[in-house]
Chain A
Amino acid sequence: MSGWANYIVFMVATGGFYALLALSLNLIWGGAGMVNLGLAGFFALGAYASALLTVKLGAPILAGLAGALLVGAVGGYVVTMSTTRLRGDYLAIVTLGFAETIRLIANNEIWLTRGSDGVSGIPGPLKAELGSWFNAVYAAGMIGIVALVWFGLRRLDQSPYGRALRAVREDQQVAQVAGKRILRFKVEAFAISAAVAGLAGALYGHFNSYVAPDIFQPLITVYIFLAVAAGGVGRVSGAVLGAYLVVFFLESTRFAAAAIPGLSPVQHAAIREMLVGLALILVLRVRPQGILPERIPPAPRPASVT
């Protein structure tokens, strides 16, 4: 394939990974009002889980993906268990620390993760059969998987379970008085969300056939917050739209920054990162409801008021 076609395929796939991460964040941020500032950590956790299962143990790719889902969910469970009873600020601090600790482990447990060299040779599905079409087919597959997760989370969102989560978000005490077990809801939602982030990581690894600690920069978490905030917090389609917008935005800043003459590559990179931070602050400030605002169905009228 030509350079441009390859580039577009690559962006479609990247948008797919970000879309899964954005769906993961939207479930807890939009759904239950919790934040995960360690999204990059769960992304890394899933990527390493699947990479190590398939490379070191020779497990099939599907088993790797299942492993990533499981490890992600367990990680999410551990992180929320100690903080669900507390104010949201504590969960924010713990998740930040979790991502850093995962990066430390990936960098230092060389016997397991090969440290900063990373794990290479991660198998891709049907790679030999597809040959040079592998990237394009994988990117198309990513769209399918995003659609599947999108559909599942939308169903969850509109089910009684999703309504209960929103009740937890709006007012925990009221939800509790209504007989909802809010602690369980929060832990479960976070674990599902962390599993989806882990799945995104695993799919990333099988696409690029390589994972290393430096790929999972904390900045990825900021990208995803930008995606969900821009798309519309609490709106499942907004998360997917936001993820692709962020990929588009990141790529445009790449060309825009390169067009400024007389700057070093470090300065180009610095300008791009500044623009990402600025974009997130502007979205929160100017259009906090995002491009696709959350739709809150009106409460049903009482059956008879006669």
Chain B
Amino acid sequence: MDSLLQAALNGLVAGTILALPAIGFTAMFAVLRYPNFAVAAYATLGAYGGWMANAWLGWPAFVSLLGAFALAGVVGTAAERVVLEPLRPAGALTAAIAAIALNVILENVLRFCFGNDLLGYDLPLARDIRFAGLRIAPQQIENLTLALAVMGALFAFLAFTRVGKAMRATADNPDLARLKGIEPRRVELLAVFVGAGLCGVGGMLLGLDTSIDPLTGFRVVLSVFAAAVVGGLGSIPGAVAGALLIGLAEEFATLAIAPTYKSAVGFLAILLVLTLRPRGLLGERAY
């Protein structure tokens, strides 16, 4: 019983953090209409951006998140403008293939600069908190709070600001949005900035309680895709729901199978959802 509750707790924490890159991936898809497979590199970039702010500049973890967001967002936007945008007229799949090539390049730029060694954040050590037979690390609570705060800010941005509304309008119906005087290209670049930035924040939060290396983002990317597909590709609330479900499923699965198979859970979830309900929990049509 306790192990079930513990798994549920871990799953919710993991799912909340997973939600950030999943939102980033799905938001970029909603506006740009191609799957940006470079999200793995964007998450890793964020992890290194936050690490540089934390270890070199001595910023505390929650301020370093700004570094993570900024580095991933700026690189993501530049890559979209220079590399991916010119290829989009050739079709969504061409852009997706180029995004994979981009992912290889970015990952290796990091490898060139920082090597393959594991890097750890400079954090105060703290004892696990226990209550009602459950165990949680203070770092987990901090990560959870930070992830929720970032998500809250994002939803406020989309719901209340002019630019946020313009983004939703473009995702919903680009032609209608253009009629209303919304400049689609600016919205696209903004969506990439926010989306890649969120991936970066997610990457840093993933690395905070362990360590980071050039493959940090790649290791979770399958779970990110699974969260986005389960929630419905292109739906932001869907990505949150999908991420929580995937986080829980992965933790519960570790009770029954070897923990190394965690990311296979995401693959099975993708196959299952695409077979039974391709549009996912909250998405639109998928064909």
Contact = CB atoms under 8 A, between A and B. Distances in A.
Contacts of B107: 273
B229 interface: yes
B271 A94 contact: yes
Nearest 5 A-B pairs (CB), nearest first?
A: A277-B104, A277-B105, A97-B267, A280-B101, A270-B112
A94 B270 contact: yes
Nearest to A279: B101
Contacts of A107: 260
Interface residues of B, number: 46
Given A83-B274, A222-B101, A280-B98, A98 B108 contact: no
Interface stretch (B89-97, B155-163, B176-184, B244-252): B89-97
Given A37-B100, A93-B270, A273-B111, 8 more contacts: A89-B29, A89-B34, A89-B35, A90-B233, A107-B260, A266-B116, A269-B111, A270-B111
20 contacts: A33-B93, A37-B97, A82-B274, A85-B287, A87-B286, A89-B92, A93-B270, A101-B263, A104-B263, A222-B104, A229-B97, A273-B105, A276-B101, A277-B102, A278-B105, A280-B101, A281-B83, A284-B98, A285-B86, A285-B87
A259 interface: no
A222 B102 CA distance: 11
B229 A90 contact: yes
A284 B260 contact: no
A101 B264 contact: yes
Interface in A97-149: 97-98, 100-101, 104-105, 107-108
Given A100-B263, A277-B108, A264 B115 contact: yes
B173 interface: no
Provide the main secondary structure of the chain A interface. Answer: helix
Contact of B286 (A86, A96, A273): A86
A274 B258 contact: no
Interface in B236-266: 258, 260-261, 263-264, 266
Contacts of A98: 267
Interface string B20-38: 0000000001000011010
Contacts of B37: 37, 92, 96
B109 interface: yes
Given A93-B225, A222-B100, A284-B98, A101 B105 contact: no
A18 interface: no
Contact of A86 (B35, B108, B222, B287): B287
Interface of B: 29, 34-35, 37, 83, 86-87, 90, 92-94, 96-98, 100-105, 107-109, 111-112, 115-116, 222, 225-226, 229, 233, 258, 260-261, 263-264, 266-267, 270-271, 274-275, 278, 286-287
Contacts of A88: 92-93
A236 to B, nearest CB: 20
Nearest to A225: B97
Contacts of B222: 96-97, 100
Contact of A273 (B29, B93, B100, B104): B104
Nearest to B83: A281
A82 B87 CA distance: 28
Interface in A51-74: none
Contacts of B111: 266-267, 269-270, 273
A90 B97 CA distance: 13
A45 to B, nearest CB: 14
Contacts of B96: 35, 37, 89, 92
Interface in A251-296: 264, 266-267, 269-271, 273-274, 276-278, 280-281, 284-285, 288
B101 A281 contact: yes
A281 B233 CA distance: 25
A85 to B, nearest CB: 6
A219 interface: yes
B278 A90 contact: yes
Contacts of A269: 111
Contacts of A101: 263-264, 267
Given A82-B275, A108-B261, A276-B104, A89 B233 contact: yes
B190 to A, nearest CB: 22
Contacts of A105: 264
Contact of A108 (B108, B109, B260): B260
Given A85-B278, A86-B274, A90-B278, A284 B287 contact: no
Contacts of A278: 101, 105
B112 A86 contact: no
